[in-house]
Amino acid sequence: MAGVSRYSSYNCLTGWDSYDKIPRVRVEYYVNENTFKERLQLYFIKNQRSSLRIRIANLVFKLLACLLYIIRVCADGDPITASCYGCKPGNKTEFEYSANLTEEEFQEHPIINWDGIIWVNRSLCLWIVQVILAMISFSEAILLVYLGYKGNIWQQILSFHFILEMVNTIPFALTLLFPPLRNLFIPVFLNCWLAKRSLENMFNDLHRAMQKSQSALSQQLMILCVTLLCLVFTSVCGIQHFQRAGHRHLNLFQATYFVVVTFSTVGYGDFVPDIWPSQLYMVIMIGVALVVLPTQFEQLAFTWMERQKLGGSYSSHRAQSEKHVVVCSTTLHADTIMDFLNEFYAHPLLQDYYVVLLSPMELDTTMRMILQVPIWAQRVIYIQGSCLKDTDLIRARMNEAEACFVLAARNYADKTAADEHTILRSWAVKDFAPDVPQYVQIFRPENKLHVKFAEFVVCEDEFKYALLANNCTCPGASTLVTLLLHTSRGQEGQQSPEEWHRLYGKCSGNEIYHIVLGDSRFFGEYEGKSFTYASFHSHRKYGVALVGVRPAELPEFYEDTILLNPGPRHIMKSSDTCYYMSITKEENSAFVVSEKRESKAIMAKDQSAVCNERKAGSGSGAGGGSGGGRPGRDGSSAAPYELPQVVLEGPASSTPVPSPSRINPAHTVSSANFAASYKYGEGSSTGESRNHLKESPATDSASDSHLLLPHTPRPDTNFLSPDSLNYRRDMDAGSRRPSILPVPDMVTSSLQIASDNQEEEVEVDESEDELDDDVPWRSPSEKIAIVKGFPPVSPFIGVSPTLCYLLKEKKPLCCLQLAQVCEHCAYRNAKEYQWQNKTIILAADYASNGIYNFIIPLRAHFRSKTSLNPIILLLERRPDIAFLDAISYFPLVYWMLGTIDCLDDLLRAGITLAENVVVVNKELSNSAEEDSLADCNTIVAVQTMFKFFPSIKSITELSQSSNMRFMQFRAHDKYALHLSKMEKREKERGSHISYMFRLPFAAGSVFSASMLDTLLYQAFVKDYVITFVRLLLGVDQAPGSGFLASMKITKEDMWIRTYGRLYQKLCSTTCEIPIGIYRTQDTSLAEPGNHVSMSSGAKAKWFWPRFARMRPSRASVSWTTP
């Protein structure tokens, strides 16, 4: 065994006290900066503030030297007597003689006074000051040479500025050693070039100290101006001094005039140099100017061009005194930016805002032309930069911005990559400016998790698929939502000869507004009344439709949200926030209560302005709604309520706005807050538009800037009174129409609920676990109990909980595939399933997670089990297992591999049995060169399907709104050509929704996801609009909130006659609120060979329309049932 080492008794790690035995050494850092040279370099060069002070002092010294030279010139005596200091002048007789000669005589015998060039008269005080400045400048020059020495001393000595410094300082040192040299001429005016260099260095230090990097253009411009000034000053001082030896002596003003004229023109000849030294000097200076100035101009032009590519900058002074928002995107497309600018500046309170566009890409030609338009050039500032760089965010003054819009790039083929870029931009902005509100737009719903901190987020796939699903149950829902989200004054189509154009264009001006009930004149009088009562009476009196409310006091555990049509159970309070549809908001409306006589006069004038065919009915109110007076045989209006007529003064229009206040009840029902018109016939192909055009011109309303409501009825014509009913029964035997119950102000036991609603209530009470035997599901896999609940499996994180129909047990994944035979099902096509209801086919290129939001509204809890339509997903790529797990809990949902390009796939998917075919735009376009052709594959495929199956109702999504004109395209459709010309005229009038009159869009059969961009833009002014649309489309659900539904008007319902009476009937029975009408027109009478006729004799035959309504929640309806 080895012996123990004698050193093992000391171990520094054996105890804490042993650390005291370790010697400590003090280490000094950066000792290299303690030398004399390093300290001088730190003070003169490295330190920003100290070096800036030295540059400023040096600049002042050089400018002072130039000023002393000017003072010396002004105080100088006769150059003929010039001599050295203390010396007597020699014989100057010949110079005195030549001074008396004329210009021509002197030119024949020129004499140069060299003493006048070499010697000057310098006073003692001036000499002392100049010597002191020279010594200071000389010492500084030697010190800078010492500090800048890097091994080659000649590089410092032979530099231009050092030589110039020596020329201006060493002669003054010689005057100290040899006094006669005190009057020696020294070109002190050359200090202007040294001042120019000090000014350049000073600006560099100043920009570095202020951390101002974008100063190249201003610095180049400054250098050019200073260079030009130095050239002029050097030429002036030089020519003035050399002319001392000539015949004609010049002062500084005359020399300046001569130099400016010589540089700008060829000269006037009034002042000319008369000796060769002056002439040679001017030739040299002109040569220097021709060499120096073009170089400076070239550098300035290059810097300016580069600066134009980088865009401008938003100064800090403007950011403190003005308001601006920043729009960030990868590429700035003209259509996207114009949509933003039109929607942003449509609000009157945003006219003083500035828009800063921040993008890493250069502007294309179209965007450059747009930003040169005066209306945008004064408001929009483009900055080329990235959100991920703090320097670019500083240029955009992101910290002082009112908001930051982060827009997704639509030109990306990979939407996931586009979302990743958007997420990083949002994070960078949040890190740099955490207090700035963010408005973020993304594509994929699964990426919402990463930008949850943003104040407002719009996921395109969420809204797109939910809107397409609502289009299947509520025709034209996409058109309704699109027009609600676009700001318009309702002036589109007012010059059209067709009535539906004028009515449709007028109603398109409706938007969603909000106001606190206690501050409102619309709704303030309904405090303590039920919501349904307030909605009906405000619509009848003011023409606005109350559709939602945000209660200030909610029960415990309730989220602060909007309640859409909470029903009569909700009692209005003064603190409630009301959401209503109107042409303009209440704050911008004037109220004029008309007397009864004035009302009759206006009614007579209105009746005389319209066609004789339209005998009776109530007019469209604000927002297209109409009050509900029932007309009598004499044309007078009768109503069950005595309410004063109110005329809302809307925004003034430059063109007459017709007021279609009378519509023939045999044709259609008057429009409400929204009206879409689409022409197709029963048995004819969808979108057929061979009908003749009307020849009747646009009728002028009683007031082109007023929105007229139904006129006040006579007090003796109460529709509900027994006398009135008996009178109408006697006058119109056989045409008795039922009366409409009044809308009660409070919920009472006398409130009757329609029989159909009672049947729905019975169905609600049914057991959720029982199988609905009314639907003959033939597939064994479908014989699973249907229950109501929340989906147990979601395809992504962040799904809003929604109550819907689910299968009690998960369906096997093999049974999800429609045409695949498995052990549970042997069917090979949709026809073999023999479903009771028609199917809904969704054609997409792959299974996006957004399809989940397409299924949710179609399986919502408020629908009946018997009305569920089978959903077939026609996918080009096989979905992943996670997506199949999510949809396996929904009843009657299938998928199959296929494409709409293949006729066999469409037949196997059951297109002949389909109620709607929804075609989602393909993300992988076959045209990467031109964005306008991105929809070409989708358009051609849908057109092919339309040719084979003309009676199928298709709903297509496109990326470019301008391509909607190609849907259901017919080359010889004269009516479509007429609409095309109308669209061009609307564009010329400045409308940015001119496509609204295209029949496919008006019918809701085509939709562009880019139209939803305005949802994000409007959220800047209306912070509730995103929540409102999510609830309306069924993406979110709120307890006590209603939902969107539709009802078809049949022939038996035509006794209602007017939209106002329809409003009253729904509010008094089912407590529903109508928000729009979807009209269809019969075109079967039009022959294919007929041309477009402007004759008014061909009357359009309208089918019974379908109207959209907002139904109250189940709890509200069941509560009101006696």
- Amino acid 782: pLDDT: 67
CA 888 to chain centre: 39
> What are the residues facing 403 on neighbouring strands?
325
For 696, how many CA atoms within 13 A lie in the half-sphere containing its CB? Answer: 19
CA-angle at 721, arms to 719 and 726, nearest 5°: 90
Can you tell me the distance from the alpha carbon of 422 to that of 327, in angstroms, rounded to the nearest whole number?
12
Burial of 933 (C-beta count, 10 Å sphere; 0-12/13-18/19+): middle
CA 585 to chain centre: 22
Main-chain phi, psi angles of 70, to 5 degrees: -65, -40
* Short-list 162, 196, 202, CA closest to 50: 202
**Kind and range of the H or E run holding 303:** helix 276-310
- Amino acid 1104: pLDDT: 41
Can you tell me the distance from the alpha carbon of 624 to that of 504, in angstroms, rounded to the nearest whole number?
8
Kindly give the pairing relationship between strand 545-550 and strand 511-516. unpaired
- Provide CB contacts within 8 A for 310, sequence distance 6+: 214, 383, 384, 385
Report the amino acid identity of residue 294. Answer: P
Which two structure tokens, joined as six digits, stand for 455? 């104040």
- Amino acid 355: pLDDT: 94
- Provide CB contacts within 8 A for 365, sequence distance 6+: none
Q: In 10 A of CB 699, how many CB atoms?
A: 18
Structural domains in the chain plus CATH codes = 311-454 (3.40.50.720), 768-1002 (3.40.50.720)
Main-chain phi, psi angles of 550, to 5 degrees: -115, 100
Q: Do the beta carbons of residue 1045 and residue 1073 sit within 8 Å? A: no
Burial of 329 (C-beta count, 10 Å sphere; 0-12/13-18/19+): buried
Can you tell me the distance from the alpha carbon of 952 to that of 687, in angstroms, rounded to the nearest whole number?
11
Which two structure tokens, joined as six digits, stand for 304? 């300016």
Q: What tens digit of pLDDT does each residue of 210-267 get?
A: 655 556 777 788 888 999 999 999 999 999 999 988 888 888 999 999 999 888 877 7
Burial of 872 (C-beta count, 10 Å sphere; 0-12/13-18/19+): buried
* Short-list 413, 417, 414, 437, CA closest to 426: 437
Can you tell me the distance from the alpha carbon of 788 to that of 38, in angstroms, rounded to the nearest whole number?
81
Burial 576-596 (b: 16+ CB within 10 A, else e): bbbbbbbbbbbeebeeeebee
Residues of the chain with pLDDT under 70: 1-19, 32-33, 207-215, 555-558, 593-738, 747-782, 925-932, 1081-1107, 1109, 1113-1122
Range list of H helices, 18-159: 36-41, 48-74, 93-99, 103-108, 114-118, 124-147, 153-157
Can you tell me the distance from the alpha carbon of 827 to that of 820, in angstroms, rounded to the nearest whole number?
7
Can you tell me the distance from the alpha carbon of 374 to that of 394, in angstroms, rounded to the nearest whole number?
26
Can you tell me the distance from the alpha carbon of 639 to that of 405, in angstroms, rounded to the nearest whole number?
49
**DSSP assignment, residue 200?**
H
Can you tell me the distance from the alpha carbon of 459 to that of 448, in angstroms, rounded to the nearest whole number?
7
Can you tell me the distance from the alpha carbon of 782 to that of 630, in angstroms, rounded to the nearest whole number?
50
- Provide CB contacts within 8 A for 648, sequence distance 6+: 542, 543, 582, 583, 584, 589, 590, 591, 622, 706, 707, 709
Q: Do the beta carbons of residue 1060 and residue 625 sit within 8 Å? A: yes
- Amino acid 459: pLDDT: 93
DSSP, residue by residue, 635-689 = S-EE-SS----EEEE----SS---------TTT-PPP-S-EEEEE--TTSPTT--
> What are the residues facing 1074 on neighbouring strands?
1109
Mapping DSSP onto H, E and C, the string for 348-374 reads HHHCCEEEEEEECCCCCHHHHHHHCCH
Report helix, strand or coil for 538: helix
Report CA-CA distances (Å) from 128 to 132, 190, 259, 638: 6, 19, 31, 107
Question: Which residue is it, tokens 């698929």?
Answer: 465
Main-chain phi, psi angles of 487, to 5 degrees: -75, 125
The residue count of the chain comes to: 1122
- Amino acid 210: pLDDT: 60
Kindly give the pairing relationship between strand 1106-1111 and strand 1073-1082. antiparallel
- Amino acid 682: pLDDT: 32
Can you tell me the distance from the alpha carbon of 143 to that of 81, in angstroms, rounded to the nearest whole number?
40
- Amino acid 768: pLDDT: 42
Q: How far apart are the first and last CA of the chain?
A: 105
Burial 493-518 (b: 16+ CB within 10 A, else e): bbbbebbbbbbbbbbbbbbbbbbebe
Burial of 651 (C-beta count, 10 Å sphere; 0-12/13-18/19+): middle
Q: Do the beta carbons of residue 1054 and residue 651 sit within 8 Å? A: no
Which two structure tokens, joined as six digits, stand for 968? 């259901």
Report CA-CA distances (Å) from 3 to 6, 8, 616: 9, 11, 124
Can you tell me the distance from the alpha carbon of 5 to that of 485, in angstroms, rounded to the nearest whole number?
90
Can you tell me the distance from the alpha carbon of 342 to that of 322, in angstroms, rounded to the nearest whole number?
20
Q: Do the beta carbons of residue 886 and residue 483 sit within 8 Å? A: no
